[in-house]
Structures are given as C-alpha cells and as structure tokens.
Chains A and B, each alone.
Chain A
Amino acid sequence: MLLNQFLLLAAALFAIGVYGVLARRNGVLVLMSIELILNSVNINLVAFSAVSATVGGEIFALFIIAVAAAEVGVGLAMVLLLYRNRRSIDLTEIDQLRG
C-alpha cells in the first residue's frame, strides 16, 4: 500500500524536524525545522485524504500552509529584532526568563 510510504516519509521528516528544533542553536534553522514538522503533518493529512477520497484533509493542509506562513513571518521578525538587539541569533544565549 502506497500510504505506508507516505507515512514513513512524514515520520522521517517529523523526526528530522524535532532533531533540528532540539539540537540547532541558530534561530533561523530552528524555524526551518518547525516548517519541516508542519509539512510532515501536511503530508499525513493529504495522504489520508487521498486514500479516503475526501477533501477535508486537503483543506486542513491548506490552512496549515497559511498558518505556517504567518508563523514564519512572526518568527523571522523576532529573529531579526533579536539580531538587532544582541548581534546574535544563538538561541542558547537567550535565557533572560531563567528562574
């Protein structure tokens, strides 16, 4: 069944994305990894939607793409401001909220 290949691809993408979010120190790369996670979800949605011959999943995927665009817009703005203020986008250095 073709579905499994899609799910494996999505799982692989998800795992890569999680690794990127946890291990990368560069803010932009973390944002890119988040995109990977979102897109792995999209693949799942579209794959299931294609198998079950409904459009619900595709519509959800469209929404996720739109939300992801907004999210990355906000995220990049934050990274930019961070860079302006601190001359660095290393996420491990930003710990002002430490308890």
Chain B
Amino acid sequence: MTDLLTLAATTATGLPLGITEGGAWLLRNAWLIPALPALSFVGILFFGKRMPRGGSELGIALVGIAFVLSLLTAAAWIDHRDNFEGEEVHRAVAVAEGHGDASGEHADEGHAPGHPSLAVHNTITWFELNDVTFTVGTLVDGPAVMMLVVVTLVSLLVHVYSTEYVAGDRRYTHFFAFLSLFSASMLLLVVSENTLQLLVSWELVGVCSFVLIGHWWEEKPNSDAALKAFLTNRVGDMGLIVGVTILFFTVGSALPGQFGSFSIAETNALAGAGRLSHTALLVASCCLMAAVMSKSGQFLLHTWLPDAMAGPTPVSALIHAATMVVAGVFMIARMYGVFFEGFSIGGSSINLMALIGGITTLIGACLAFVQRDIKKVLAYSTISQLGYMVMALGVGAWTAALFHLFTHAFFKACLFLGSGSAAHAVHSFDMKSDMGGLRKAMPHTYRTFVIGSIALAGLPPLAGFWSKDEILVGTGGWGLFGGTGGNGAYTFMLIMGVITAALTAAYMTRCIYLTFFGEFRGHGNPHESGPRIIVPLWILAGLAIVAGLLNLPKGFPLVPESLQERFGHFVEPVAAYFPGISHGTPSWSLAIASTLVVLSGIGLAGWYYFIKVEAASKAAGRSLTELPDGLTTRYPLAKMGHTFLVQKYYLDHLYTDIIAGGTKGPVAAAAYKVDQDVIDGAVNAVGENAVKAGNLVYHRFDQPVVDGLVNASGRASSGAGWELRRIQTGKVQDYAAILFAAAMVLAGILIVIV
C-alpha cells in the first residue's frame, strides 16, 4: 500500500489526503505509547502477585514512561505543526461524474490560510485477503496527541491514587492489571489509523469497563451494573460495526481497483471532497451516532453510566468521566469529515447530533438535582457535559468540543477523586445521611472539590469557563449577543447550552452544601486522606484552574497574540482529511451573559441551601438537607416533577418493563390465541373426520392385511435387534473403532473402484 501511495505522490495527481509518511521519529513511532501499558498489563498479570507492592509499581512506572513519551510527542508535534516541509500523500481516485477538480472541492473556506498540519501516518500490513489489505498503524495529529497527553496523565494520577484507595483489596493486583489494559486500549484507540483498529480498541475499552465496574462482583448490584453497562454498550457497538462496514464499501466505490478501505484519512478526505454518496454518509453517520450514544452516555442509551458508579471511584474517575466515555466524542472528532457531510453540519440550524447532544445536556443536568449519592450527581453531570461536547460537534464547533473534552477531563477527574476521598473517610457515598460538614475535617478535599466545581460551573478564569464559552460562541450568530460566524444558526442549541450552564452551577452548589457544609450527619470521625490521594487531587485542581488559558480567544486584549488560540492552532487539523469548518467570533456580551447566568444559578441554589436550609437547621437543632416545607411538599405539581426526576424519566422502566416485558407478554398472548382458535379448531375438525375414516379402514383393511405384515416384520426386527444388541456395548471407544473400521472399508472400496 505504501508503494501505491508514494507512486501516486510522485505523479502528484489524485486527491491529497493531508497525511505524510515522514516526520519526527517520535511521531512515526507513537505505537510505543499504547505498547507500554500493554506490557504492564501482561507483566502485572503474570508477575504482579510476586512483586512487593502487588504489581502497582510496574503499572505506575510504565504509565509514567508513557506519560513522558506523550509529552515528548506533543513537543515534537508542536514543532512538526508549523515547520514540517515534507511531501503530502496523494491518492488516486476514480473519475467522478459531475464533480469538479478533486483537490479543489474541499475548499478551506473556514481555515485561516497558513501552514497545513500534515498528520503523521505509519502503517504495517496486518494481513492480506486477495485484493484487500488490512493494516494497523498510527495516525498522529493534533487531536491524537492531545488525547495521548490527557489519557496518560489522568491514568498516571489515578494509578497513584488507587494505591491508597484500594489498598488491601483482595484483587489489588487484578485491579492494576486492568487499569493498565484500559490505558493501553484507550491509547490504541486514539492513535488508530483505520476504523477496524478503532473498532477493536473500542471493544477492548468496553471490556475493561465491564471488568472494572464489576470489580467487587460479590455484591449483586455491582455485577448487575457491569452487565447493564456491557449490554447497553453492545447495542451501540452494533451501530459502530454497521457504520464501519458501510463506510468501508462506500469508500471502495470511489477508489479505482479497490474493494474498500478502512483508512480514516481516506474516508474523511473522500467525504470532504464530495466523492461519496450523501445518502451512504447519512446512514453511516446515524449508525455511528448509535455507538456514540451508548459509549458516551447520550440520551436514550445513557442509563448505564450512573449505574457504572458501582465500580471503585478511581475507575469512575478514569473511565467513566475523563477518558473512556469521551471515546464517542473523540470518534466523532476523528470521523468528522463523514459526520460533517452526512449531517450537513455546515449551514443547517438543527441536526440529529446537535439535537441528541442538546437533549442529553439538559436531562443530565436536571437529574443531577435529585441524587442522594455524590457519585451519581457527578455521573449525571458527566452525561450532561458529554452532551455539551456532542452538541458542540453537532453545531460545527469542533475545536470547542475538543477543548471542553480536554478541560473536562481534568476538573471532572478532580471532582470524582475528591468524592472518593470524602467517601473513603465516611465509608458511604450518601450525601444526605452520611456526609455534611466535611470542610473542617478534610480541608484539602474540600478546597480541590470547590475548585473543580467552579471550573465545572464555568466561572472565569477557571478552565470550564473558556471551553463552555467557546461552545456557546460556536452555536453561531445569535443577534442578541452580537456573535457572528460559526457554521449555521443553531439558536436552539445556544438556549439549551445556557440553561444547562445555570443548572450545572446550581446542582454543584447543592452538592457542595450537602457534602461539606452543615453538621456531620454520619458516624465516626472522618479525617483527611493521605498524600497519595491529596497530591493527585491538587495536581488536577491546578490543571482545572489553568488549562483554560491554553485557548484564549482571538483578540483577547491582555495577552500577546502569540499566546492566543494555542490549543486550536495545534489541535485542529488544517489538512485535506478535515472538513473546512468556520469559526464563530467570540463576543464579550455572550461571555458576560453566560457568566451572569452561572452566577444566578449559584445564587439561587446558594440562597436556598446556605440561607434557608441553614436557618431551618438551626431552628430544628440538627443538620437538615432540605426545607421541611419546600416546594415539593407544598405543591403537587412540583412533587410530580420531583418524582419524575427521581424515577430517571422512567427510562429504566421503559426498557425493562415496557420494551422487554412488553414484547414478550403480547407476543405470548397472541401466539396462545392463534393456537387456541385457529390451530385447535382445524385440528379438531380434521380429527373428527379422521376418526370416521379410520373406523372404516380398521375393519376392512387394517386387521387382516396390515396386521399380518406388521407382526411378521416385528418378529423379524426383534430377532435382529437381539443379535445386534451385542455390539451396543455403550463404550464410546468401541463405537469409534467401528467408525474407523467402516471408514477404512469405504476408503478401500474407493481405491478399488477409482
């Protein structure tokens, strides 16, 4: 395949793919980064039990090396992005009817003219089947490098944190082995060069998620949650398999002399050049969207994610907040050429992806209000924020979505690890009955949790503010706030985003009050966790403060221009495999308005909890968690709304009782009715007539003629049976001997005859 590609490149015809085979050594050998944790998995599995610290030291060491390598790769990429002058790979394509020049089609209207960012592509042949070559390899570009750094960093911190959190666990070694396998699979996913490799690693992270959710499988709810996560993900995985298959054949139709192709760069470049059928792309995008809905917890298939909190907290932080659940978001970002064309993202005002993301972000935020379990608050918050990212991708704000992914990984991991630290101290996750007043006992956890919450709520200048604001800007020109640019007028998405911002601020205020303020409601004396928990918390909290500054908007007055939009510059590809998206112009009025909305959310929830509930607690003489005469007790409508939320919109009932139960009930009833009325009636009628006919035959024919014959044959077979009985020894080897003997006789006959 390399020969073909370079051949095409030298003739300089065909479609440019935006990739290169050259580049720095580190960029070409990015496979090392997933290989290290994979090595650690094997090492821990075989030798972990014999190591002094149960294998955790091996995991930390190798993931640490992978993190350093990722940083070096990122540095190499920053150099490569602006200075690489190598040759771009071109691909010969079939002559298309009715299309213009192949290379002119993907006009980079949205990109600022500048140095293109050629992704570094390196493959080896896995196997060949007639004409089709299956390859494995790496495609290293901005988003991949960003994910490498995020995954290895969060993974490293979670490894360190876990050494204290699961200390003394009976499957300590096993836990670290699977943390390593998860890191390896996730890193493999982000550097995947083709969709088949993506699919394999996608399934691998799913398996690791299953194993780690069910880490304490002795308790039934945990193994149930693991199964639910796995089965829900299977639903979406079918979508991924179908979508990848459709793309394989669709791409094949545009390449001369090729059956199909899994290559991500080719697929995106052809889709971007308008060489692929729009219908096929739309169907493929819808199928891939199903995969995103399950893996990234989008509305309708999100129900597994809150249950997945049954796993150990470090797992929740690593897998179900910071990395694995963003695999869906990353997959959209990876296949953006396909989605951009398939859903016609540029220049519409609503599409499936933006709608699913918008609904998810709202319903997730609403559900976070009624949870008692601190991890479930964060789980629904994660669903809501993932919805934000998918919505951003749906409106064409690609960079904003990836930037939110980047910042969210830090502050959400910080929040999860913080909740784990608090729960570790009080031995429970229930905020209402076992927490409260922890700020005095656990000052570090309290401070980092508040920093994470503010970053999540999106107050300047913390990380969440910048990325959330960029998404809102990306929804496109809403005249009121003076925003311009963007890919269309997604006004509806802007409204959903703003409402979610207010809800997020409010539920995090509630969560902080219930956990850290008031009086302690649990048992025992909670005390601060040890350094292996505190240090990762502070590192993540520090990143939650500063990560947002990486992508200061263009025209931001206080810093020089060379420090603006650094994240966008290095992460967003300017290459043929990436569609030409246009960027919104940041506006001060929108930023101020969204900050005011967040402040009002905090203010409202703060007024309720810090003033009303606090006063009621004083009056009652004990620490309350809600007003005794609140809205839900006074107004039946509010009560109904509350119950609706507590029941999670009845989606679980819908799935288990109505869909699963509903199909098996009516189907059985209908089958019974058909059985009774139709089949039985026919059988009875036939039976009555048959009795009459039978009587006739019996006396004239059966008794004299047939019986005579039957008795004779019966006697004969009975005799033969007695004789043959002797070879039925019941011993399996005797039968085998007869079988082989017969086969030899038949083979002999064959030789003689032929």
Q: Which A positions have Cβ atoms within 8 angstroms of B?
A: 18, 21-23, 30, 55, 91-92, 94-99
Contact = CB atoms under 8 A, between A and B. Distances in A.
Interface in B367-399: none
Contacts of B726: 99
B732 interface: yes
A92 B732 CA distance: 8
A92 B728 contact: no
B745 to A, nearest CB: 15
Given A55-B130, A99-B725, A91 B732 contact: yes
Interface of B: 129-130, 724-726, 728-733, 736-737, 740
Nearest to B737: A22
A92 B736 CA distance: 13
B721 to A, nearest CB: 8
Contacts of B130: 55
Given A21-B736, A22-B737, A91 B731 contact: yes
B733 A94 contact: no
A22 B731 CA distance: 11
Nearest to B736: A21
Nearest to B732: A91
Contact of B733 (A22, A55, A96, A99): A22
A36 to B, nearest CB: 14
A22 B741 CA distance: 11
Given A21-B736, A91-B731, A96-B730, 7 more contacts: A23-B733, A91-B733, A95-B730, A98-B731, A99-B725, A99-B729, A99-B730
13 contacts: A21-B733, A21-B736, A22-B733, A22-B740, A55-B129, A91-B731, A94-B732, A95-B730, A96-B730, A98-B729, A98-B731, A99-B728, A99-B729
B733 A95 contact: no
A22 B736 contact: yes
Contacts of B730: 94-99
A21 B731 CA distance: 12
Nearest to A96: B730
A18 B740 contact: yes
B731 A92 contact: yes
Contacts of A94: 730-732
A30 B736 CA distance: 11
Contacts of B731: 91-92, 94-95, 98
B97 to A, nearest CB: 35
Contacts of A91: 731-733
Contacts of A95: 729-731
A44 B672 CA distance: 53
Nearest to A97: B730
Nearest to A18: B740
Contacts of A96: 730
A87 B656 CA distance: 44
Contacts of A30: 733
Nearest to A27: B732
Contact of B728 (A18, A21, A55, A97): A97
Contacts of B737: 22
A86 to B, nearest CB: 14
Nearest to B721: A99
Contacts of B728: 97-99
Contacts of A92: 731, 733
Contacts of B724: 99
A10 to B, nearest CB: 15
A25 B729 CA distance: 15
Contacts of A21: 733, 736
A29 to B, nearest CB: 12
B426 to A, nearest CB: 46
Nearest to A59: B129
Q: Give 8 closest A-B pairs by Cβ, nearest first.
A: A99-B728, A95-B730, A98-B730, A99-B725, A97-B730, A95-B731, A21-B736, A22-B737
Contacts of B129: 55
A23 B733 CA distance: 8
A3 B407 CA distance: 62
